[in-house]
Amino acid sequence: MSPLLYTFAAMALLAALLGSISIWSPRRLWLKTSALATLALLLPVTYIGLAELLSRPKPMHLEWHQGGLEEATVVGVELRENQAIYVWLRIEGVADPRSYMLPWDQRRAEELYDAQRQAEANGTEVRLRQPFESAVEDEEPVFYALPQQPLPAKQTPGGGFARISY
């Protein structure tokens, strides 16, 4: 089940509880009928609203579920100067990449741009350190490129490793 369905199921249970309270309350019949009609309209409107939110980038400071995450892989980026930094992150243990929005910060945008160039030159990927922490030390860059992988050890034609003696 997706998080959308879990969220909608929880909301539907709460709405059903509210509807049952309105049915058993000592009110007039037209008030009870109005409450049930409102409940019937609430469910599809909520589902449509939740589904619409799935395509929107989530502000980084609202992520509470992945709060203690050390780092994430940056899959995609869009920089909108003086507006926001949009990042698409691949988080370990989560099946699909997620879209997030950071407030615009010129220094962070430059870090990200430099990390992208370095990662492209190294043939590696860009990482985001402590993505959901609001207070990250200013000395270390938040965006960085992974270092280039070392070349594998050379083998001799006989199958063994080459030894160099002096």
**Annotation: CATH topology of 58-145:** OB fold (Dihydrolipoamide Acetyltransferase, E2P) (2.40.50)
Looking at residues 82-99, what average pLDDT do you find? 90
Helices (H) and strands (E) in the chain, counts: 3, 6
Residue 136, pLDDT > 60, answer: no
Residue 95, pLDDT > 70, answer: yes
pLDDT at 26: 86
Residue predicted with more confidence, 118 or 135: 118
Q: Distance between CA 109 and CA 99 in Å, rounded?
A: 17
Residue 159, pLDDT > 80, answer: no
Residue predicted with more confidence, 136 or 155: 155
Domain extent listing, the chain: 3-53, 58-145
pLDDT at 18: 82
Residue 1, pLDDT > 60, answer: no
Instruction: Give the other-Cβ count within 10 Å of 31's Cβ.
Output: 11
- pLDDT (tens digit per residue) in 15-60: 888 888 877 888 888 888 888 888 888 888 888 877 777 778 888 8
pLDDT at 9: 84
pLDDT at 23: 79
In percent, the amount of the chain with pLDDT more than 70 equals: 86
pLDDT at 8: 81
- pLDDT (tens digit per residue) in 61-83: 777 777 678 889 999 999 999 99
CB 44 within 8 A of CB 82: no
